[in-house]
Chains A and B, each alone.
Chain A
């Protein structure tokens, strides 16, 4: 291992708690009776349902199609009948429901026909579309559609491919176990990634607290026909963050506001590589993943869970215990609290962490910031968290952005070290979502302004056009009238005479029209019918009045 490693600034060393769950063998979770598959499991547009309620689906069948470029499909994780399409509880920090497809499983677990992809023969963009339709998304936690990340872009290829086996979050061991057991498959997936990205250098970064995984990956790498460097990186949270992994392995920094591909580096989680291998070589869509179930359970372990399995089912596998104080999806540093354990496992679910008072004592009361800058020392993005906190708290979002709020990766190091126990990351999340909401509002109001201006312009134009049309018509009429008497040899009429004649003609026309439209069947009616007609007339008048009201008020103004 000749690679010189670099260090990133900051970071913390929380207790690792990896040994609890990484020793037990992996089992598949039992097939649940009901699978709830959210349509929005990835970043980008939610999938569009392509099945209907009552339809029977097979395992691996497409049930939600990718909608647009940044999107991914979702599939039935087992065979059964669609029982609902609509809002259901999902694992999300908001606790709000989202659109899901619910499948009542039939226990047959009957597959669709799977066709492996010959990735070398397929056109790269065609291959990427196929992967998108197989539902591939990053399994590291952010669930970014993989097909998008596998596009090196028109301008450049991506010489360096980094496989992220950092897994720096405490408690989680699913990547560790996956690397120990499926190192060969992971590298098969890497071969596809190399092919699509045109990478010449493959580096696997694994924290040095996972010696078995490192050994397994090295053994597998030796068998491959391309060079793969398996590198042990120092264990420090958040060494597994993509930007931090890039810096540790290459010494390069991903420029602020840009992607790692801009400096010729792409980073994938090992789980994504494994899912990619299964997709390409076996034609299996992403319908299951390894999930660490740990914390306050009897048998902490990793389970192979179908997407859509209720989290409670996994907790039951690991052995539910008394004294549970809550459940997290993900690790203790960046995980999402789950209010209802019936929510499904999704593609981003790497861990179900059960809390207890002993393992996760309640956080102490927050005190004011004393500006000690421990947060700044711990921040891997090298920000000034104490200043961001001040701006976010005061609602000074402009200043927060000036101080690079959006470079915050929400790793939680600042909150972890804060001696005043301030939930700093919460403030950054709040500020970020406020800023996004405001930008959305701004766009909406810009659109409204534009449309209003256009309407004004349209009304103006219509008025002008009408006036012009009338003027043109009048001119023609006047010419006609002027021409007629002249032909008769009479004295040339004055302009006023012409106008008078015009008005007289119009009046005559109107009267003729009135006589024409006057109903001819109302003369000899019985009194009831007459009254009815009057009532109708009154209602019509009232409606006309109502209809005129806004115009009148406008006039008043």
Chain B
């Protein structure tokens, strides 16, 4: 009886010491979870999730205040990655936050643009260049396709153009090997 107690007590002390050592030795600085979540989010900064940007959404997920399925640009793949990271169940994209669309960039019709600068103020990544009464242009390489510039435009001169597959962007497709019979 005494032996058993001693053995268990010894075990507890050793394991406790090991855990304590590990806690000190492998301590992580800061809150890396928000960063990790933020790294998965597409950084479109579109606000479709209901938060004013990707970082605030990441913080909300980390705090457990938001679901992982509110990011349409991240799509199913993004939800899967978040589910893996957080050990949560996968959920299909929440319809009220939007639908997954092919990646697009904004395009300004230069004939119609009146140079009102409203879109410039709306762009979350400063990807529109121009000045008052000057024609505006989208810097396509920096446009995230968030569509936030569409509603402020008083003359509806901005449209979303899906990124066409051209040679430098072409990808090898997943090979099709037919094992099963097609029903």
Contact = CB atoms under 8 A, between A and B. Distances in A.
Interface stretch (B3-11, B24-32, B61-69, B163-171): B163-171
A415 to B, nearest CB: 10
A446 B38 CA distance: 10
Contacts of B47: 557
Contact of B174 (A97, A98, A430): A430
Contacts of A90: 167
Contacts of B151: 546, 549-550
Most buried by B among A365, A367, A449, A543: A449
Interface in A423-471: 423, 426-427, 429-430, 432-434, 437, 441, 444-449, 451-456, 458
A368 interface: yes
B83 interface: no
The main secondary structure of chain B at its interface with chain A is loop
Contact of A426 (B38, B166, B172, B178): B172
B154 A547 contact: yes
Nearest to B175: A426
Contact of A96 (B54, B142, B166): B166
Interface stretch (B13-21, B90-98, B118-126, B129-137): B118-126
Contacts of A454: 126
B144 interface: yes
A432 to B, nearest CB: 7
Interface string B49-82: 0111111000000000000000000000000000
Say what secondary structure dominates the interface of chain A.
helix
A366 B169 CA distance: 29
A92 interface: yes
Given A430-B174, A445-B43, A451 B127 contact: yes
Nearest to B103: A441
A187 interface: no
A452 B152 contact: no
Interface in A16-60: 40
Contacts of B166: 96, 98
Nearest to A548: B152
A98 B166 CA distance: 8
A547 B170 contact: no
B154 A546 contact: yes
B152 A550 contact: yes
B142 A366 contact: no
B142 A448 contact: yes
Given A433-B172, A547-B154, A550-B148, A448 B45 contact: yes
A437 B171 contact: yes
Contacts of B42: 441, 445, 448
B172 A557 contact: no
Contact of A550 (B44, B122, B125): B122
Contact of A557 (B52, B124, B144, B170): B52
A557 B167 contact: no
Interface string A392-435: 00000000000000000000000000000011001101101110
A423 B177 contact: yes
Q: Which of B43, B125, B165, B166 has the most CB of A within 10 A?
A: B43
B178 A365 contact: yes
A434 B152 CA distance: 36
Interface string A146-188: 0000000000000000000000000000000000000000000
A94 interface: yes
Nearest to A437: B171
Interface in B80-124: 116, 118, 122, 124
B182 interface: no
A447 B174 CA distance: 28
B154 A543 contact: yes
Interface in A538-557: 543, 546-547, 549-550, 554, 557
Contacts of A367: 179
A295 to B, nearest CB: 24
Contacts of A430: 171-175
A448 B171 contact: no
Given A366-B179, A430-B175, A452-B125, A96 B170 contact: yes
A454 B53 CA distance: 13
B52 A547 contact: no
A446 to B, nearest CB: 7
Contacts of A429: 172
Select the residue from A434, A452, A557 with max chain B CB neighbours within 10 A: A452
A444 B145 CA distance: 12
Contact of B126 (A96, A432, A455): A455
B118 A452 contact: no
Contacts of A432: 172
Contacts of B55: 449, 453
Nearest to B169: A437
A404 B52 CA distance: 40
Contacts of B126: 451, 454-455, 458
Given A365-B178, A557-B52, A547 B152 contact: yes
A433 B152 CA distance: 38
A452 B43 CA distance: 8
Contacts of B152: 546-547, 549-550
A550 B146 CA distance: 13
A472 B171 CA distance: 58
A441 B116 CA distance: 31
A125 B101 CA distance: 49
Contacts of B125: 448, 451-452, 455
12 contacts: A90-B167, A96-B170, A366-B177, A367-B179, A448-B45, A449-B43, A451-B126, A451-B127, A452-B53, A546-B151, A547-B152, A557-B50
Interface of A: 40, 90, 92-94, 96-98, 365-368, 422-423, 426-427, 429-430, 432-434, 437, 441, 444-449, 451-456, 458, 543, 546-547, 549-550, 554, 557
| 5 residue pairs, one from A and one from B, having the closest CB atoms | A445-B43, A448-B43, A426-B175, A451-B125, A366-B177
